[in-house]
Structure 1
Amino acid sequence: MMRSGVDRAATAPHYSITMLAPAKIKVRERTHKENLGQFLTPTEVSDFIASLLTALPAHVRLLDAGAGAGALTAALVRRACQPSSGVRRIDVLAYEIDPSILPALRRTLAECEARCLANDIVFKAEIRHADFIQEMSSSLSGGLFSAIPPSINVALVNPPYKKIQTTSPERLALRAVGLETSNLYTGFVGLLARVLEPGGQLAAITPRSFCNGPYFRPFREDFLEMMRLHRLHVYDSRAAAFSTDEVLQENVVFHAVKGGAQPKHIIVSSSSGATGASV
């Protein structure tokens, strides 16, 4: 496992966090990307995901699992730097397994630190170049040599989309913490639900396949036992959210809170997914 902080000297003052467009980050071939099941989050989608969070705590402890180039963290920082946010400190734990994307992630986090500094917000970040499922499952299972799970009150995720076999290391790791699922994306979401503190918020973009059908019933029951769904947004177009990557999954964005009473009404919305489309 490699840990890396943000190098304050790695960037000149630059406060706009102009995210590197996923289409312009030439760090991996398409086949490599598909092997990992990972597709980078467009800036417009990242901003929408971050907008679903309710009032942010003064001290944000963010877990960005499968961080990619850092689009979701950057979106949260843009929101936190608004005058009315009330945020005074942001601690980020960013997981990314692909070494080829780490330079872009480091640059984004350095820009986030610079913008926070300009807005009197303390910003600290740690990058873990590690397998999120293996490491977090080990932490949660409480083995003799396991690390203590982090204290997290906000989780943002665009998880990898890939089926996992019954006897795969990922499936076995998830099963060890009581999570039975057949896809990486539900594994990521299920682990995030477990590590969030009571009242913590999760906002995510995933395939909509978990919403119905027998394959994902154990996951739905497990997730809804811990989390209270507040918002569900559906993209009408299969490809619009990830148009540059030719992703043909039907995607949803959702916001949920750990524990508490189930809201009387769940907000459901839809859009084409195109830039500037109405919600």
Structure 2
Amino acid sequence: MSTASRSRLSLYLDLIRWNRPAGWLVLIWPTLSALWLAAGGFPGWHLLAVFVLGTILMRSAGCCINDVADRHFDRHVKRTAQRPITSGQVSVREAIAVGVVLSVLALALVLTTNVAAVAWSVPALLVTVLYPFTKRFLAMPQAVLGIAFNFGIVIAFAAVQSSVPEWAWLLWLGNLFWVLAYDTEYAMVDRDDDLKIGIQTSAITLGRWDVAAIVLFYLLFLGLWWLALPPQALGTAFDVALAVALAQVLWHWQLIHTRTREGCFHAFRVNHWLGFTLFVGIVASNLMRP
């Protein structure tokens, strides 16, 4: 491979945040939790591969879409000024092409499941495309991001059961609050820059109530999952996981209550441990069933 080719590949990997896995990790754990819950245990290697690879591909495609939409804003934000599109290293046409290829690959994976899962993947893609543009006019665009990120839960149930039961929507709503929590932490990092360029974020909308709101979002997330899951009789293992997750909420408060860029960014980057904790509790509970 030539030096030029390696350089191009490096730029594309940077475009999809290949070296920043926090973005797909917060997506994968609730999706896998839903997959285990829908299947009543291990869902099989086929579905596991489809949802792990599909999640990574769609998150990567979402990064392409987001950076195309935000290219005129990113250059004014300290953290994003060197992203490949806004810095001129990757063209808009290239980025769109990469995003389309990744989306097609993700669709190809979903096509190996069933009609219900394929049907739900269509609005999932549409909301993913819409999200970056909502920063121009919505006070809390993170809510739209939450809807986009939550489709993994819906598609997982559809792939296993060909429908989405009512209690799964409680998981969906709870996860929406989790996205609001961690993406508000993320938005707090860029609040000063976003105020200058006129982008709307939950961190700006919530103002001095940002930290309190984030803690409330976390508690609503865990509370709604706790309400949704008792009929599944998960038992002690999940209760322990829930307690560990609550301890992590306190850890997040400690990281963000002073509102430093470093603390808020670190809080965002470690959010995946909270989702992983709940997933482990669900898997362990299923393994411990007689």
Q: State the TM-score, normalized to the length of structure 2.
A: 0.32
Higher helix share: 2
Q: State the TM-score, normalized to the length of structure 1.
A: 0.33
Q: Could you say which structure has the larger radius of gyration?
A: 2
Bigger relative CO (Cα 8 Å, ≥ 6 apart) = 2
Higher strand share: 1
